[in-house]
Amino acid sequence: MSDIAITRLIFAYVFVWMLYLFMRNRKIQQDKLLLLASFRMTIQLVLAGYVLGIILQVDNPIITISTIFLMEIFAILNIKKIAQQKLSLPILKSVTLSLTTGTLLVLFFFLLVVVNPPSLFDPRYWIPLAGMIIGNAMTGISIGLKTLLDNVESKKDQIQTSLHLGAEPKDAIGDILNKSFEAAILPTLNSMLGMGIIFLPGMMSGQIIAGSSPITAIRYQIGIMLGITGSVSLSIFIFSSTVWRSFFNEKKQFIS
Amino acid sequence: MKPLFECQSITFLDIIKPSTLTIYDSLITSINGASGSGKSTLLSFLNGTKSPSSGLIYYKGQDILDIDIVKHRRNVVLVEQKPVLFPGTVYSNLIIGLQIQHKKIPPENLLKNYLDDFHLSFSLQESIYSLSGGEAQRVCIIRCLLLQPEVLLLDEPTSSLDENTADHVLHYLIQVHQRSSMNIIFSSHSEKLSSKADNIIQIAEKRMGSSL
Ligand SMILES: Nc1ncnc2c1ncn2[C@@H]1O[C@H](COP(=O)(O)OP(=O)(O)OP(=O)(O)O)[C@@H](O)[C@H]1O
Ligand SMILES: [Mg+2]
């Protein structure tokens, strides 16, 4: 595979710069965020590149597993940040439980049953797959959480009225939970629909550019897509079956 | 007279000072007090959707914290001060309480009779977005009447109705009470309304007291 020269890579920032000018011109908010995001993306990827290099070289199961746990922690912190409001302790607990359980179960299953790497804890497989699985589950939970919080806020009268009409708390918030489940899973389902026709997924493109045969790349892609769907749905399922409790107290009263 | 609710030295933040009061069975009770005095708060204590900061509440001799609270709310149904309807039709809103409680849905003509009884002239399929405040309030009252609870709590049930309609609704509720022995407890800040009650709970200077 031919390397991209650093000087040439700089040209890729032309598009960010164009978008920035456009946003400034139209007075669209978030122009600062765009700069910050591109800057952080660059720094984070450069760092990730070096760190990954080291992890792959060391090839030590303890380091590999610790790295995956670190990724989980960063994902939880990221969900906290995306929420743009202070999350109560029960909500945080539910986020943590659902993200870690949903991703780790699927990751272990996927690596041990589907991929079955030559050496069991080969970081070359674990780290990138963990990245994709955790990243997608994180996005799913973020969307689910945001939809949930927005809807609880805008429908609090209806939740309260359902309680007055004798609903169990879980039923009083049931429609809202279902809606946030849907919102969380939809991007994953949509990307499955368009995959291979409308776009080639990043991992597959990467493998092909790096010289793998498209057929190998596709096998991995189908596998990972199912893994992602599995972890997103499992995480969201655990999330929605635990998070509703945080909106009620032990007397089944609504706390808003 | 048998007590229905007994509140023992209940308080709420600095809004309600320790108050002990009894609401009796088989009477119509009115809760009176100025705006902000805690009428709505007291009503939500009674059906357990809020709890006092301290003090105990008994329903038919049992501490309400000891009974299944959802079951209690099904026995003691609250019609809120501000009508809350769910997106959909008048019909779907009338039956939602029954659906929640897994009770049998009555035939449409019976529901239509209720609308007539409450001087509501629209059809069951009317969208709720076209209802006025007073119409929505009456739909909410019917929705709770259909549940046939042991106690019906009404928070200022006639606040957005004109005088004639208000009289009519109150009269209707009194009839239900006489016919079915459903206990009726309502809050109001109007003397006229509370004059129809057998028993008046007065909230004054942050204390609640019964006139009986
Ligand atoms: N959770 C709460 N925390 C703090 N204050 C509260 C809370 N709930 C109610 N209050 C306050 O308690 C007071 C009594 O409220 P409540 O709604 O019971 O009055 P009300 O008698 O029903 O008034 P109105 O006639 O205007 O309906 C109000 O000042 C309200 O702001
Ligand atoms: Mg009130």
Segment B95-111 shows an average pLDDT of 97
pTM of the model: 0.88
Structural domain includes residue A255? no
Average pLDDT, chain B: 94
Residues A51 and A74 in one domain: no
pLDDT of residue B104: 97
Cβ-nearest to B70 among A158, A161, A252: A252
Mark the residues whose beta carbon lies below 5 A from ion ligand 2: B 39-40, 81
Check which CATH number belongs to the domain holding A150 and give it: 1.20.1640
pLDDT tier for residue A1 given thresholds of 50, 70 and 90: low
Structural domain includes residue A222? yes
Structural domain includes residue A31? yes
pLDDT of residue B116: 96
Residues A47 and A77 in one domain: no
Structural domain includes residue A101? yes
Q: Has residue A196 got a pLDDT over 80?
A: no
Q: Determine whether the shortest distance from the Cβ of B203 to ligand 1 is under 6 A.
A: no
Structural domain includes residue A98? yes
Determine whether the interchain pair B73/A253 forms a contact, defined as Cβ–Cβ distance below 8 Å: no
**Going by CA atoms, what residue is nearest to atom 25 of ligand 1?**
B35
Check which CATH number belongs to the domain holding B7 and give it: 3.40.50.300
Q: Determine whether the shortest distance from the Cβ of B36 to ligand 1 is under 6 A.
A: yes
Q: Determine whether the shortest distance from the Cβ of B183 to ligand 1 is under 6 A.
A: no
**CA-B41 nearest atom, ligand 1:** 18
B144 CB neighbours in chain A (<8 A) are 165
Structural domain includes residue B114? no
Determine whether the interchain pair B49/A161 forms a contact, defined as Cβ–Cβ distance below 8 Å: no
**Going by CA atoms, what residue is nearest to atom 24 of ligand 1?**
B35
Which residue, A33, A58, A83, sits at the end of a domain?
A58
Closest CA–CA distance from residue A169 to any residue of chain B (Å): 9
Q: Determine whether the shortest distance from the Cβ of B65 to ligand 1 is under 6 A.
A: no
Residues A39 and A71 in one domain: no
The closest ligand to the CA of B34 turns out to be: 1
How far is ligand 2, taken at its centre, from the CA of residue B204, in Å? 15
Mean pLDDT check: name the lowest of A115-119, A199-203, B22-26, B43-47. Answer: A199-203
Determine whether the interchain pair A160/B84 forms a contact, defined as Cβ–Cβ distance below 8 Å: yes
Structural domain includes residue A252? no
Residues A82 and A27 in one domain: no
Determine whether the interchain pair A166/B70 forms a contact, defined as Cβ–Cβ distance below 8 Å: yes
Segment A182-203 shows an average pLDDT of 86
Tens of pLDDT, residue by residue over A133-146, are 999 999 999 999 99
pLDDT of residue A202: 81
Residues A67 and A160 in one domain: yes
Closest CA–CA distance from residue A151 to any residue of chain B (Å): 14
Residues A122 and A80 in one domain: yes
Structural domain includes residue B174? yes
Which residue, A58, A74, A94, sits at the end of a domain?
A58
Query: CA-CA distance, A180 to A145, in Å (whole number)?
Result: 7
Structural domain includes residue B121? no
Q: How does DSSP assign chain A, residue by residue?
A: -PPPPHHHHHHTTHHHHHHHHHHHHHT-TTHHHHHHHHHHHHHHHHHHHHHHHHHHHH--HHHHHHHHHHHHHHHHHHHHHHT-SPPPHHHHHHHHHHHHHHHHHHHHHIIIIII--SSTT-HHHHHHHHHHHHHHHHHHHHHHHHHHHHHHHHTHHHHHHHHHTT--HHHHTHHHHHHHHHHHHHHHHHHHHHBTTTB--HHHHHHHHTT--HHHHHHHHHHHHHHHHHHHHHHHHHHHHHHGGGGB-TTS-B--
Closest CA–CA distance from residue B107 to any residue of chain A (Å): 20
Which ipTM score applies to this complex? Answer: 0.95
**CA-B38 nearest atom, ligand 1:** 18
Structural domain includes residue B162? yes
Residues A40 and A119 in one domain: no
pLDDT of residue B212: 56
Structural domain includes residue B105? no
Query: CA-CA distance, B176 to B144, in Å (whole number)?
Result: 12
Residues A108 and A13 in one domain: no
Q: How does DSSP assign B106-149, residue by residue?
A: PPHHHHHHHHHHTT--S-TT-BGGG--HHHHHHHHHHHHHTT--
pLDDT of residue B211: 63
Residues A212 and A236 in one domain: yes
Domain count, chain A: 2
Residues A110 and A232 in one domain: yes
Q: Has residue B60 got a pLDDT over 70?
A: yes
Q: In chain A, which residue's Cα lies nearest the Cα of B87? A: A158
Segment B105-129 shows an average pLDDT of 96
Structural domain includes residue B106? no
B86 CB neighbours in chain A (<8 A) are 158, 161
Contact yes or no for B96/B86 (Cβ under 8 A): yes
Domain count, chain B: 1
Residues A84 and A187 in one domain: yes
Determine whether the interchain pair A251/B51 forms a contact, defined as Cβ–Cβ distance below 8 Å: yes
Structural domain includes residue B112? no
A253 CB neighbours in chain B (<8 A) are 48-51
In chain A, % of residues over pLDDT 90: 70
Structural domain includes residue B73? yes
Question: Structural domain of residue B200, as residue ranges?
Answer: 3-86+148-211
Structural domain includes residue A65? yes
Q: In chain A, which residue's Cα lies nearest the Cα of B45? A: A253
Structural domain includes residue A64? yes
Segment A25-36 shows an average pLDDT of 87
Question: Structural domain of residue A26, as residue ranges?
Answer: 1-58
Residues A149 and A34 in one domain: no
